Amino acid sequence: MQALIPVINRVQDAFSQLGTNVSFELPQIAVVGGQSAGKSSVLENFVGKDFLPRGSGIVTRRPLILQLIQDRNEYAEFLHKKGHRFTDFEAVRKEIEDETDRVTGQNKGISPHPINLRVFSPNVLNLTLIDLPGLTKVPVGDQPADIEQQIRDMLLTFISRETCLILAVTPANSDLATSDALKLAKEVDPQGLRTIGVLTKLDLMDEGTDAREILENKLFTLRRGYVGVVNRGQKDIVGRKDIRAALDAERKFFLSHPAYRHMADRLGTSYLQHTLNQQLTNHIRDTLPTLRDSLQKKMFAMEKDVAEYKNYQPNDPGRKTKALLQMVQQFNADIERSIEGSSAKLVSTNELSGGARINRLFHERFPFEIVKMEIDEKEMRKEIQFAIRNIHGIRVGLFTPDMAFEAIAKKQIARLKEPSLKCVDLVVNEMANVIRQCAETMSRYPRLRDELERIVVSSMREREQIAKTQIALIVDYELAYMNTNHEDFIGFSNAEAKASQGQSAKKNLGNQVIRKGWLSVSNISFVRGSKDCWFVLMSDSLSWYKDDEEKEKKYMLPLDGIRLRDIESGFMSRQHKFALFYPDGNRNIYKDYKQLELGCNNLDELDAWKASFLRAGVYPEKQKAPEDENMPEVDESSMDPQLERQVETIRNLVDSYMRIITKTIKDLVPKAVMHLVVNQVSEFMREELLAHLYQCGDTDSLMEESQLEAQKREEMLRMYHACKEALKIISEVNMSTLGDVPPPLPTDYRPAASGPSPIPRAAPAPPGGRAAPMPPRPGPGGPPPPGMRPPPGAPGGMYPPLVPSRAPTPNNGQPPVPARPQVPARPF
């Protein structure tokens, strides 16, 4: 049992020596109390030396972890000065002050970083305590205004742990109900199960008052009780009164005081030290299995992270080469998985990424860019009219000239080059985002990450230019030869027939569903509660429902004459909005509302819905809608019926041929981008990336860790080895001996210089009676009658301690209960 406290000390040192903060709840005793409550004096009495800083204001400004270790020699040792022994305790005090100032400065500031001090002495019991700064109310000097809250927060970080015993030090000459230490302990330990009360300055209480009821645990009850002590006064400290003499004076005070002499054996610094030793030992025994489990869980959690560094050093050249190959392979696998698709375990459920976004660009954004290239019908008819007239010259044309068709069609085909090249830009930007995201996994090696990203992006930019050249050639191919024999081309005869019949050249989509999805409605009052509705866009109408079951229809809006415009989102709104309205401004879109404001959650959805509305013939506000083909207009002069039929014929031919070319461009451009950019970049990374990396120079420079990552790795390794060492220390404890009963309390625990100097004790008072006088010692060792001097050779000029003798025990029986000493009758 007595070896448990050194075990915890070694665990504490295992973490401290490796520079790792203890994130586990080690069993310990924290000393809390107000300023000038006597905390430092209690600790110095334990050691028997003056070694703690003293003064006015906050003296203890950093936690002091004080480890008392019983040893034949007497010296002190700091953990931050391992191996340096301090035999002069004045030097210990100076080192504590210097170490405190080194971290906190000299402005009376505080710091939560502890100072570890070991004191070896034959006069101490194994014990570990944490001396914490005293509670204060008013800032002193350059202290911050919230110094009280800072100290309070620091104390709570220690005493809030369930494995921490609280030594609440309170001066007896103040009202216990206003004790800061007990109040703070009550907050974290309301049942008083972990709190040990210490009453100081019992000798300074007003005459006629005492703390008997508190020490008997009848007032402000604590599970572990109270212990009273008498420390040296300020006059004694200034006069350098010896601590051993102070302990003798403390003993005499309790024996001579009528309120305390019946419990004198349970009061004093020596009893407090032994009590703390016993209670901390029992506390460690109870919490050791939990501590072992916590260490094992922490160590197992780090096994995977430190597996790479367990058997060799991080600076090993072989490890760097292996790590380089592994990371390049992993980078290629991440890129391929992002483009081609993820497995069920690695799929993202939060947003579209990689290949899914490129697929949306091909099938939604690129068609949207083409549809957005709306033909100005009025302008086109003027161009056709001028082309026909210019071709005929001074002659009157009897037939429709095919050269007018070719001139107008080529002008429209050339306009397809811009959205096609824009598609390349969009895909390259998305690929660059994928490369950047996958390269972030190598943030541990910043130079490798930057170099790898530069090489891949540079290669992709080269292929981007090649792709743009090839796609521009596709458009040039279409401009080079007009294939009027295409099976889907309407032909001159059919175009003339449609023109004579006055049929509309507008593409008829039929009554088909173009898109479904959720949209938020911002300005329609019939939407109550949730603003989200389920919308169904058809070629001729827009309907919205309460939910996606499409059972309860809210409204159906015809799309004839409706236009679309972008609108700004409201303050703090993350939605992207657009509005539907009638351009004339005289008609309401719904009831009294001039426009219907709809919102999407992201920009991709907004583009997809706008592209779908364009397919349905709903065009943006800034562009003009197609005019009615039954009422063609000319510029400033009237147009004869023959010319009107020729214009309509050319218009039908251009529309039919452009549908063929647009369909071809929509099909070929994504294929060209995939072949010339996406697939080529993937092939480059598989076959040439590693060679380009080796050409950059020394691989050691590429594999240099960033300072932050190196620090994280070192901290992880330190924590791992600290946990491993702590488990090794704990495993040395023989758990079968933990149930042994601690040795009984000795009769006197005061440290002695040349020998014991015990003081006689009074026998306990009988219940309900007054204190008994000193019983005579049976036999020749009894004290002489009053008035006689002590026997010669008695240490300290005093009598040896009175120990009750045990009655003889029969060999085959139980020992009888000792008889109560006879109390002589006293006259009234």
What does the pLDDT read at residue 291?
Answer: 78
Residue 34, beta-bridge partner list: 135
CA distances from 571 to 525, 528, 575, 576 (A): 20, 21, 10, 12
- The Cα–Cα gap between 431 and 460 comes to 9
What does the pLDDT read at residue 444?
Answer: 77
The secondary element (H helix, E strand) that includes residue 390 is: helix 377-392
State mean pLDDT over 153-167.
86
Q: Is 523 helix (H, G, I), strand (E, B) or coil?
A: coil
What does the pLDDT read at residue 668?
Answer: 93
349 vs 710, higher pLDDT: 710
Q: Is 369 helix (H, G, I), strand (E, B) or coil?
A: helix
Distant-in-sequence, close-in-space partners of 782: CB < 8 Å, separation ≥ 6: 776
State mean pLDDT over 81-97.
86
Is the separation of the CB atoms in 496 and 400 below 8 Å?
Answer: yes
pLDDT at 81 over 80: yes
484-518 pLDDT tens trace: 888 888 776 666 666 555 544 444 545 678 888 88
263-296 pLDDT tens trace: 888 888 888 888 888 888 887 777 778 878 888 8
As to burial, measured by CB atoms within 10 angstroms (0-12 exposed, 13-18 middle, 19+ buried), residue 188 is middle
State mean pLDDT over 346-362.
74
> Residue 669: how many CB atoms within 10 A of its CB?
25
Distant-in-sequence, close-in-space partners of 638: CB < 8 Å, separation ≥ 6: none
pLDDT at 744 over 60: no
Q: How far is CA 386 from the centre of its chain?
A: 71
The DSSP bridge pattern shows strands 563-567 and 576-581 to be antiparallel
Using DSSP, how many helices (H) and how many strands (E) does the chain show? 23, 16
Look at residues 365, 374, 367 and name the one whose alpha carbon lies nearest to residue 619.
374
Distant-in-sequence, close-in-space partners of 145: CB < 8 Å, separation ≥ 6: 139
The pair of structure tokens assigned to 353 is 């990424």
What does the pLDDT read at residue 314?
Answer: 58
Q: Is 715 helix (H, G, I), strand (E, B) or coil?
A: helix
- Edge-first strand order for the sheet with 85-86 is 85-86, 75-78, 115-121, 64-70, 127-131, 28-33, 164-171, 195-200, 226-228
The secondary element (H helix, E strand) that includes residue 228 is: strand 226-228
User: For the chain, what's the residue count?
Assistant: 828
CA distances from 115 to 95, 111, 238, 400, 467 (A): 10, 10, 26, 101, 67
- The Cα–Cα gap between 543 and 556 comes to 4
Model confidence at 163, pLDDT cuts 50, 70, 90, reads confident
387 vs 472, higher pLDDT: 472
State mean pLDDT over 541-554.
84
Look at residues 627, 647, 631, 630 and name the one whose alpha carbon lies nearest to residue 386.
647
- The Cα–Cα gap between 514 and 612 comes to 6
What does the pLDDT read at residue 1?
Answer: 46
- The Cα–Cα gap between 309 and 306 comes to 5
> Residue 174: how many CB atoms within 10 A of its CB?
15
Is the separation of the CB atoms in 651 and 505 below 8 Å?
Answer: yes
577 vs 501, higher pLDDT: 577
What does the pLDDT read at residue 521?
Answer: 82
Q: How far is CA 333 from the centre of its chain?
A: 29
Q: Is 568 helix (H, G, I), strand (E, B) or coil?
A: coil
426-451 pLDDT tens trace: 999 999 998 888 888 887 788 888 88
- The Cα–Cα gap between 595 and 604 comes to 23
- The Cα–Cα gap between 738 and 24 comes to 21
The pair of structure tokens assigned to 423 is 């598609």
764-820 pLDDT tens trace: 444 444 444 444 444 444 444 444 444 444 444 444 444 444 445 444 444 555 555
Residue 264 φ then ψ, to 5°: -65, -25
What does the pLDDT read at residue 133?
Answer: 83
806 vs 238, higher pLDDT: 238
What does the pLDDT read at residue 109?
Answer: 72
The secondary element (H helix, E strand) that includes residue 116 is: strand 115-121
Q: How far is CA 31 from the centre of its chain?
A: 31
As to burial, measured by CB atoms within 10 angstroms (0-12 exposed, 13-18 middle, 19+ buried), residue 663 is exposed
Average pLDDT along the chain: 75
- Residue 630 is classified by DSSP as T
- The Cα–Cα gap between 711 and 705 comes to 9
Global confidence as pTM: 0.52
Look at residues 661, 669, 668 and name the one whose alpha carbon lies nearest to residue 489.
661
Residue 66, beta-bridge partner list: 117, 129
- HSE value, Cβ hemisphere, 13 Å, CA-based, for 114: 28
What does the pLDDT read at residue 321?
Answer: 78
Phi-psi category of 408—alpha, beta or left, where left has phi over 0 and alpha has psi -120 to 50? alpha
The pair of structure tokens assigned to 456 is 């891949």
Is the separation of the CB atoms in 32 and 159 below 8 Å?
Answer: yes
What does the pLDDT read at residue 80?
Answer: 82
Model confidence at 672, pLDDT cuts 50, 70, 90, reads very high
The pair of structure tokens assigned to 124 is 């101490």
With helix as H, strand as E and coil as C, how does 423-477 read?
A: HHHHHHHHHHHHHHHHHHHHCCCHHHHHHHHHHHHHHHHHHHHHHHHHHHHHHHH
pLDDT at 721 over 60: yes
Distant-in-sequence, close-in-space partners of 281: CB < 8 Å, separation ≥ 6: 1, 2, 4, 5, 742
Is the separation of the CB atoms in 338 and 434 below 8 Å?
Answer: yes
pLDDT at 9 over 80: no
The secondary element (H helix, E strand) that includes residue 576 is: strand 576-581
pLDDT at 760 over 50: no
- The Cα–Cα gap between 569 and 574 comes to 7
Tokens 């173009």 -> residue: 514
445-488 pLDDT tens trace: 888 888 888 899 999 999 999 999 999 999 999 899 888 888 88
172-215 pLDDT tens trace: 888 777 788 888 888 998 888 888 999 888 888 887 788 888 88
- The Cα–Cα gap between 404 and 646 comes to 10
State mean pLDDT over 522-549.
74
As to burial, measured by CB atoms within 10 angstroms (0-12 exposed, 13-18 middle, 19+ buried), residue 64 is buried
301-341 pLDDT tens trace: 777 777 766 555 656 666 777 778 888 888 888 888 888 87
What does the pLDDT read at residue 474?
Answer: 92
pLDDT at 351 over 70: no
